[in-house]
Amino acid sequence: MKGAVPAENDLWRIDAGGGSPERMTSHNTRVTYPAFLDARTLLYLATEADGGGPWLYALDPDRRQSRRISFGLERYSSLASSADGKRLVVTVADPRRTLWRVPIGDVASEAKQATRIAVATVGARAPRVGPGYLLCASSRSGSDSIWKLSGETASQLWSASGARVIGGPAISRDGKQIAFTAEQRGRARLYVMRSDGSGVRTLSESLQPRGAPAWSPDGQSLAVAATVDGEPQLVRVSVASQAITRLVSDFAAEPVWSPDGNVIVFSGREVGTTFPIRAVGADGRMRSKADMMLSRGVRRVVFLPGQNSLVVLRGDMVRKDFWAIDVDTGRERRLTNFGPEFAIGDFDVSPDGREIVFDHEQDNSDIGMIEPGSVRIP
C-alpha cells in the first residue's frame, strides 16, 4: 500500500527484483488487508470516498481491474486468507452509535457523570448544539438524514435517497442557518438551509467539498476543505455571492473559526500516527501559534465559547479523553477521565460552554469464514 495514511492510499506493486512501483487501484481512501485468493485474484478492503464501508473488493492484478464484491450491507474490519487460498476469514463489524453529554467542570468528569441522550433516530452521530436545539446525522437503509431535537420533539430536517452526510452539520452562531456537506450518486455538494429545514440550496456547484463546513462568526461565509482542480485545499465560500477564496493550498480537514473570526483552525495531513493542528488567518496568512500534534483518530476540534481555548480529543490510539488547550499559552486542562470503554466519535460544545455532547460508538464484531467458491466476482 502507498499513500497518506490512514485514509488516502491505494495498492501498488513492485517487481521482486526491484524497479518502479506500479499503481493497481485508484480509491484514494483507506485501503487495507490485501490477501490473495489465487494467482489472479487479490482481495482487499476499502472505504468509499464519503466514508462508507469498509467493503470487500477483488482485484485482477494482470488487468488491474478492481470490483466490489457484493455480500449485502456488511462492513468488514479485517480480512485474511490461508496460504493455499482455501479459507477466508473476515471480521464483520456491527457498529452502534448513541449520543451522550458530559459536564465541563473544574475537575475531570468521570464516565459515571456522562448521561445518554434519548433520540428517536437510528445510528445517531455527529451531534451539533445550537441555541435551544440539537442536530445530528442519522443513517437508515443506506441513506443519511439530518435530525433536529428540541426538547422532546424530534423532526427530520433533510434527507435524500442514497445520500451520505459527510462529517456533521454546522450551525451558525445565531442558530438560524445550517450548513452541511452531502454526497449523492458520487457527487459531493455543500448545502445551506434554515434551522427549520426550509430554503435548502446548494452553494457553488463547481465546488467539490471534502468534509464538514464551519460558519464564520458573522454568518456570512463558510470554511470547508475541498478539491480544486484536482488538488486538496481549504477555501472560504461566501453565502451571498458564492465566491470562493483559497485559504490553504494543501490537505486540510475539520476547519473551525475562532470566536473573534480572525483565525481558522484545521487539521493537516497525517504524519505516521499523528496529525498536526494548524491555523490560518481569515486573510489567508498562515499562523503558527496554534500548531500542535494529536494522535490518529477523530480530527474535530472546537473552541470553547468566548475563549481562545480548543477542546480536543487527546490520548493514545485506543483511549482518548477530552482536553482543553489554550492556543496562546499551550496550557492544557483535562476535561474527562472516561476509561477505555468509551470510544468517542464526533462531538460539540454547548453555546454556554458548560457541557460536551458526543457520539459513543460500540463496535461489536463477529468473525466469519467465507468459502472461496462462494466469492462471486462480477
Report the pLDDT value the prediction gives residue 75, as an integer from 0 to 100.
Answer: 72
pLDDT higher than 90, residue 376:
no
Per-residue cell: 334 = 483535562
> 372: helix, coil or strand?
helix
Q: What mean pLDDT is predicted for residues 310-316? A: 91
- Please, what's the b/e burial string for 268-278 (b: 16 or more CB within 10 A of its CB; e: otherwise)? bebeeeebebb
CB-facing half-sphere around the CA of 260: CA atoms within 13 A: 6
276-297 average pLDDT score: 84
pLDDT at 198: 97
Q: Phi/psi of residue 113, each to 5°?
A: -90, -10
- Please determine, for residue 353, whether its predicted confidence score (pLDDT) is greater than 50: yes
Across 225-251, average pLDDT: 92
CA pair distance 210, 132, nearest whole angstrom = 29
Q: How confident is the model at residue 378 (pLDDT cuts 50, 70, 90)?
A: very low
Query: Considering the chain, what percentage of its residues have pLDDT values greater than 90?
Result: 49
Mean pLDDT over each residue of the chain, to the nearest integer: 87
Structural domains in the chain, CATH included, are 2-93+365-374 (2.120.10.60), 105-353 (2.120.10.30)
- Tell which wins on pLDDT, 43 or 378: 43
201: which strand partners? 192
With a cut of 90, say whether residue 92 has pLDDT above it.
Answer: no
What are the E-state strand segments in 239-378? 244-248, 253-257, 263-267, 274-281, 286-295, 302-303, 309-315, 320-326, 332-334, 336-337, 344-349, 355-370
Q: Give residue-wise pLDDT tens across range 133-143.
A: 999 999 876 68
Distance, in Å, from the CA atom of 144 to the CA atom of 233, rounded to the nearest integer, reads: 26
How many residues are recorded in the chain?
A: 378
Contact 40, 63 (CB under 8 A): no
- Sequence-distant (6+) residues with CB within 8 A of 113 are 102, 103
In one-letter notation, the amino acid at residue 301 is V
Distance CA 299, CA 266 (A): 9
Work out the percent of the chain whose per-residue pLDDT is above 70: 89
Q: Is the pLDDT of residue 372 over 70?
A: no
- In this prediction the pTM is 0.77
pLDDT of residue 67: 86
321-349 per-position pLDDT tens digit: 999 999 888 899 999 999 877 788 899 99
Residue pLDDT, tens place only, 18-64: 888 899 898 878 898 998 888 888 899 988 765 567 888 889 988 88
